[in-house]
Structure 1
Amino acid sequence: MSRLLWRALIAALPAVVLSTNPNTCQAINAQFPGRVVFSNDSAYAFDQSSYYSGQERAVQPNCIFTPATTSDVSQFVKTITPRQDSDANFAIRGGGHTLWKGAANIDGGVTVDMRLINQTVLSADKTVASLGPGGRWHDVYHSLEPHNLTVMGGRLGSLGVGGFLSGGGMTFLSRRKGWGCDNIYGYELVLASGDIIYVTEASYPDLWLALKGGSNNFGIITRFDVPTFPSDGMWYSLLEYEYNDTVLEAQAQAFSRFMEPANFDDAAMMGIFLDCTGGNFSVRDALWYADNVAKPPVFNGFTEIPNLGGVAEIATVANVVDEFGANLPTSIQRAFQLDWSFQNPPADVYMELIKIWENGTRAVADVPGMFIEFLTQPQAVTNGTNLFGLTAGKTDYAMMLMTAAYNNEADDEKIRGAILEIVRAQRGLLRRGGYLIDFVYTNYADGSQGVYKSWGAGNVAKMQAASKKYDPQGIFQTRVPGGFKVF
């Protein structure tokens, strides 16, 4: 079903309710006829199927509310928050790309699907783009391409704007400008009261800071105002290599040197992708250079490793995200992932981390559909406009992400146990060497990870103070159970 057909179907939905506990859904449907999707509607199955992971697709809300304007969101909040029924909890979704169950969906409540609020609007002087939270980066980039402009968005076109920016945002420009959330001028926000406010550093400085990585803790964001940047093309390369110790040692040497402050190039972002599929290993490098420069020398350490070829081109940002995204599945059955950050160590430490990963995957090589990816990449060089607890301007922070995908729920514990064991060993190695840092990145984290705790007690206290001030009844702490909570 195309998006246009989906929108038409939403608009034509009858005011019909078939639910085992319909009270809240009935109230919303009375307020917004044609904007509520029930479990017997064909659009319901389509909406559920659009989540990336099987865990989120399995969650069953009583109904789905599809606002088209900020006013819709405001009226929804005013309708639902006074209700005390057990079915009056709600979830907020954009792209639906987060893997773990209940991150952006809810059993027995209302899921607010923001995807109709998906505008990309340029200011008159084209220096600011106003983005709807329900947009996808593919569409944002393509709309800006005719103007030779870009914004700090996702490296996968399928990612949603709202979750990406509210959780932090690793971008092609992250080594130059920081996290995506470091560069948000203002937020249009619906508070727990239903009031609509515009949050800037000048108007609500405490809330403006808390929203940078604060996810869904303070209200429903209905617009992000972000800076635009000139872009007439960027360098993109995706190279494949034979998987052997010689290549891995060369990768470890190249990455460790790449991350040394003396070699820092603020246009260069990249990732080493080590994959294990059913016990078979492979390695790829994704290389991105934000400027229109072919074969930038900063990547020589990687491109000079004997390889099996691949993409190497100057392309628009829109085309890069389309090409890179074509290498990834559009959905997965079951998944589990963890992330962690550290200061760049010597090459031999990277090799030890790789060997821990290799050995750990053997325990689950026979799991049906098993795929485990071990990603190593630079971290964003923050400008300090957030509560992450990271040193501003520090260029030698790196990040790792371990992701497992597989077929069956019956293997959840086996996979989870194996990944946890690998990551514990890797983090232990980094900790003993003095390289591990506390920071956990929201958008890569599993729900079991203590994201906000890792940002430091003082920063958590600031988020909690903002929550109490702007949401004194704790609506977004208790009635919106999904996501990471500040309390």
Structure 2
Amino acid sequence: MVRLSTIALGLLYGLSNTLGVVADTTTFTDPVIDGAIAVGFPSVNITAILTEAENELGVNGTITNNLPDESYGTPGTTVTARDLEKLQELRKRTSLRGICGAVACLSLKILFPSKTATAGTSNYAAWNNPSFWSATTYMTPTCVFRPTSVEDISLAMRLITFTQTDFNVVGGGHSAIKGWANTEDGVLIILSGLKGVNINVRGWAEVSVGERWGDVFTALDERKLMALGGRMSTVGVPGLVLGGGISYLTNQLGFVADQVKNFEVVLANGWVVNANKDANQDLFQALKGGSSNFGIVSRIDLYTWPCPKGVYSGQLYFSDTKDYPKMFDLVYKYHTVGALSDTSSHLISAFVYVTLPGMSTGMHMGAFTAFRNISASETNPGPGSALQEIVDLNPTTKASSTLKVRPYGQTAIELGAGDVTGLRQDMRDFSVYADAQLYKDIFQIWNTTMIPKHGSKTGFMGTIAFQPITTNAVAAGVARGGNSLGLESNSGTMAIINLTHQWALAGDDASILLTLDDIVLRAIALAKARNLYHPYFYLNYAHKLNNPIGSYGTASVNRLKKASKLYDPCGVFQCRVPGGFKIPGMSSC
């Protein structure tokens, strides 16, 4: 049994940067992970490729002549790997930034002609903007790189790190924040070419990060299995997991990240490592909520669970606003009683305002997603006591609901069918402790501010949703070894309040975003005044001005800093990746 220890990883990091011609791929057998672990690179002369690109661009030696001397630690010391200060200083003094991007992109084009696209080509148009959920995220990278294997990513990171160009990585692209998974210059790495869901009979699924959750669940449904994952089929795999991830099974089994068996990760220098409970444990915990601050995750192995009878789930649409006061009381009761008594249940309580085609005015709607995992012993599956009152609240709603027994993955596919791409989008959140009156008052702040001002704007749809995080969900994560979310000491049910809005015209951006800023500030102030505010920001919904990683608390942030310094000692993912939620307190670039 051979593992990459911290010391070995450090030596390999330094040695890999010393060699101009990298060694053949080396493999070690590890019984914890099926098959072999790739620890190395294909035999490619990186320096020769960079030189060829420089010559073609007429900037001979700009990059290669300024590569600094190698520096790496001795066994048992912190590895500094390549000291890139000389090249970074050169970038600051000159217009080298644009040159770096051009050299990196041309080098990728030389090495991967069919997987690299530059502006003006058909693949560039096909791979770039369509990869993103929201039109607010569209940008123009120097090139788009679409790898199809972990080896592709490994070599690409060698080129990108050597040239010190900016880059970014997009999985499913389900973010509304400009620059969080895109870049105006440099290399955009899109992961949609990494496909595959390999179901291991020993209890886990090996999921390539180019997959979306709908395809993952379809593969699991065929085997009568389920795994924690996204609640909408259109969401991509990696971003959701790295931000923690809320699932239909979170109340029972914790966050999605808590049910990861192993991460396969490409580090900044190109080395491919595995992170799990036995190998690189500090990286393993860091990735469970620490986002994209440590490397590019290329595969995620998720534990699977039997689902022989399917689940009871579906949509409930409440169109009568007279039901709303009672609905909020029942939502609160579910958060504080039902979710604790029946941990197999889950409820998304969303209040929506939308103007449908052909309507002169918009309409309010309570759009609830109810879910319950069916035990093997049940003979007459239904909503159970935790959800029964909500299901029975309005006979008309109950009669028109889509509630039924179905395969696990069909719940996410049904909810994902309503997802819309290509519009302007905004998503943000904050957290409070469960309280019925606070829920009602926050809804009123939103309803009396957002709807009168913007409800009639073209393509407008606004949603405010209330989602519980119970003490059981937190405890389930602790039982799995913990994550980076900082909720281990949480007492009492908390609720993530998520605001999601879409509209059609860029000219409406400023006014809608200004109103949303005002609503959230007022709602948080109200929660603080009642001692019901919780500082946690769920990263996958967070606004760009929030600090979700900082909200994890000092102990978690310090662990993330330590992991970043060890696995990315040159700060490539902190400094060369524009946007994204960074680890607070790291040295500036």
* TM-score, normalised relative to structure 2: 0.76
Q: Match of 1:240?
A: 317
* Counterpart among 98, 109, 117 of residue 194 in structure 2: 117
CA distance in 1, matches of 2:467, 2:574: 32
* Counterpart among 33, 47, 60 of residue 140 in structure 2: 60
Alpha-carbon deviation of 1:464? 1.1
* Residues 234, 419 of structure 2: 8 Å contact kept: no
* Residues 102, 186 of structure 2: 8 Å contact kept: no
Classify the secondary structure of the residue corresponding to 1:71.
helix
* Residues 430, 498 of structure 2: 8 Å contact kept: yes
Asked whether 1:352 is paired with 2:432, we answer: no
Structure 1: gaps spanning 5 or more residues: 1-15
CA distance in 1, matches of 2:202, 2:566: 35
Q: Match of 2:32?
A: none
* Counterpart among 319, 326, 334 of residue 410 in structure 2: 319
Deviations 1:388-447 (A, max 9, x none): 121368561211101121112222121111111111122222212222111101111122
CA distance in 2, matches of 1:22, 1:263: 54
Deviations 1:355-412 (A, max 9, x none): 1111111222343222211111212612231121213685612111011211122221
* Residues 244, 485 of structure 2: 8 Å contact kept: no
Q: Match of 2:387?
A: 299
Matches within 5 A, 1:387-426: 387-391=484-488, 396-426=493-523
Q: Match of 1:342?
A: 432
* Residues 433, 492 of structure 2: 8 Å contact kept: no
Alpha-carbon deviation of 1:332? 3.7
* Counterpart among 165, 170, 174 of residue 246 in structure 2: 170
Alpha-carbon deviation of 1:115? 1.2
Classify the secondary structure of the residue corresponding to 1:259.
helix
Alpha-carbon deviation of 1:479? 0.7
Q: Match of 1:429?
A: 526
* Counterpart among 362, 370, 383 of residue 460 in structure 2: 370
Deviations 1:137-158 (A, max 9, x none): 1111111112111111111111
Classify the secondary structure of the residue corresponding to 1:81.
helix
Classify the secondary structure of the residue corresponding to 1:140.
helix
Alpha-carbon deviation of 1:321? 1.6
* Residues 133, 163 of structure 1: 8 Å contact kept: no
Alpha-carbon deviation of 1:78? 0.8
CA distance in 1, matches of 2:246, 2:290: 15
Cα distance change, pair 197–263 in 1 and its aligned pair in 2 (3 A): closer
Cα distance change, pair 394–46 in 1 and its aligned pair in 2 (3 A): farther
Matches within 5 A, 1:167-316: 167-232=243-308, 233-244=310-321, 246-261=322-337, 264=340, 265-278=342-355, 279-291=362-374, 293-306=381-394, 307-308=396-397, 309-316=400-407
Cα distance change, pair 392–300 in 1 and its aligned pair in 2 (3 A): farther
Classify the secondary structure of the residue corresponding to 2:274.
strand
Q: Match of 2:119?
A: 39
* Residues 126, 228 of structure 1: 8 Å contact kept: no
* Residues 339, 345 of structure 2: 8 Å contact kept: no
Give the partner amino acid of 1:45: A
Alpha-carbon deviation of 1:243? 3.5
Give the partner amino acid of 1:319: Q
* Residues 360, 421 of structure 1: 8 Å contact kept: no
* Mean Cα deviation higher: 247-256 or 271-280: 271-280
Give the partner amino acid of 1:120: V
Structure 2: gaps spanning 5 or more residues: 1-52, 58-97, 356-361, 376-380
The RMSD of aligned alpha carbons is: 2.0
Deviations 1:196-228 (A, max 9, x none): 111112221211111111111000111111110
* Residues 338, 386 of structure 2: 8 Å contact kept: no
Deviations 1:22-80 (A, max 9, x none): 32211111122211022222122222223110012x21111111111111111111111
* Mean Cα deviation higher: 375-384 or 444-453: 375-384
Classify the secondary structure of the residue corresponding to 1:130.
strand
CA distance in 1, matches of 2:314, 2:115: 43
Give the ranges of 4+ consecutive aligned residues of structure 1 lying more than 6 Å apart after TM superposition: 16-21
* Residues 96, 104 of structure 1: 8 Å contact kept: yes
* TM-score, normalised relative to structure 1: 0.91
| Higher alpha-carbon Rg | 2
Give the partner amino acid of 2:412: V
* Residues 171, 237 of structure 2: 8 Å contact kept: yes
Alpha-carbon deviation of 1:261? 4.3
Asked whether 1:442 is paired with 2:535, we answer: no
Give the partner amino acid of 1:373: T
Give the partner amino acid of 2:467: Q
Give the partner amino acid of 1:469: L
Deviations 1:115-171 (A, max 9, x none): 111211122x34011111111111111111121111111111111111111111111
Classify the secondary structure of the residue corresponding to 2:402.
strand
Q: Match of 1:135?
A: 211
CA distance in 2, matches of 1:234, 1:138: 16
* Residues 261, 396 of structure 1: 8 Å contact kept: no
* Residues 427, 501 of structure 2: 8 Å contact kept: yes
* Residues 371, 383 of structure 2: 8 Å contact kept: no
Q: Match of 1:29?
A: 109
* Residues 353, 363 of structure 2: 8 Å contact kept: yes
Aligned residues: 464
CA distance in 2, matches of 1:256, 1:435: 14
* Mean Cα deviation higher: 154-163 or 420-429: 420-429
Q: Match of 2:37?
A: none
Classify the secondary structure of the residue corresponding to 1:214.
coil
Cα distance change, pair 142–377 in 1 and its aligned pair in 2 (3 A): same
